[in-house]
Amino acid sequence: MKYYPVFWNIAGKKCVVVGGGDVAARKVTRLLDCNAKVCVVSPGLVPELEELKRNRLIDHVNDAYESKYLNGAVLVIGATDDEKINDAISKDAKEKNLPVNIVDDPQKCDFILPSLIERGDLTIACSTGGQSPALARYLREELELVYGEEYAVLASILGQLRTKMEKNAGVGKTWFNQLMSAGLLDAIRSRDTRKVKTIVRDITGEEIILG
């Protein structure tokens, strides 16, 4: 395995995106979804980023890239269409021991960004190690058909049961297998709230909250 897979909590941490175009906007949106403190370095911004700036959701450095703008960051994303600038971003970030991603240039990256399937708190990541983004997208689309929104509800239910599962050695796996065998997923898919709660209560003795 070329890359070490990890889910990283960056909430409240400074993340720098260099570039003000559409690609940068997509990267910024993902960072904001993770509650990062995002700083965009670019002389200009596309309308989407301008809107985020007006709403004070991002900080904006209205200037050409300089290495000093990376200070205090925990990660860096280079999303410009200038190869020399991207080279400088990668070099500067590595000198500062900051993980860096240069869009569409794996050779300059410390990390790459996978295709994601999100179902509530459940996240499934697909990556080809930078070899074929098209294949990663294809796999994501296939998995989206297999893992529907019912898995968001399932993850929420299991999250509510987690503490009791962890306190009782061996009960977690047993409960999980019994819940699945009892048709919990099918009940969630059919939106049969009463049946979902009954299955959980009969097997675990617990009452759950469904959103």
Tell whether 4 is covered by a domain: no
CA–CA distance, 158 with 64 (Å, rounded to integer): 48
Both 186 and 108 in one domain: the answer is: no
Both 36 and 84 in one domain: the answer is: yes
Reported pTM:
0.86
CA–CA distance, 104 with 81 (Å, rounded to integer): 10
Both 70 and 82 in one domain: the answer is: yes
Residue 163 lies in domain? 150-204
Number of structural domains found in the chain? 3
DSSP percent split of the chain into helix, strand, coil, nearest 5: 50, 15, 40
Residues 6 or more apart whose CB falls under 8 angstroms from that of 147 comprise 117, 119, 122, 124
- 96-110: string of b/e by CB count within 10 Å (b at 16+)? eebebbbbeeeebbb
Both 47 and 70 in one domain: the answer is: yes
What 3-state DSSP class applies to 44?
Answer: coil
Both 128 and 52 in one domain: the answer is: no
* Lowest pLDDT segment from 11-15, 37-41, 102-106, 196-200: 102-106
In the predicted structure, residue 163 carries a pLDDT above the cut 90: no
pLDDT in tens, 76-100: 999 999 999 999 999 999 999 999 9
pLDDT in tens, 131-162: 898 999 999 999 999 999 999 999 999 999 98
Both 19 and 104 in one domain: the answer is: yes
Q: Is there a contact between 79 and 103 (Cβ–Cβ < 8 Å)? A: yes
Question: What is the reported pLDDT for 89?
Answer: 98
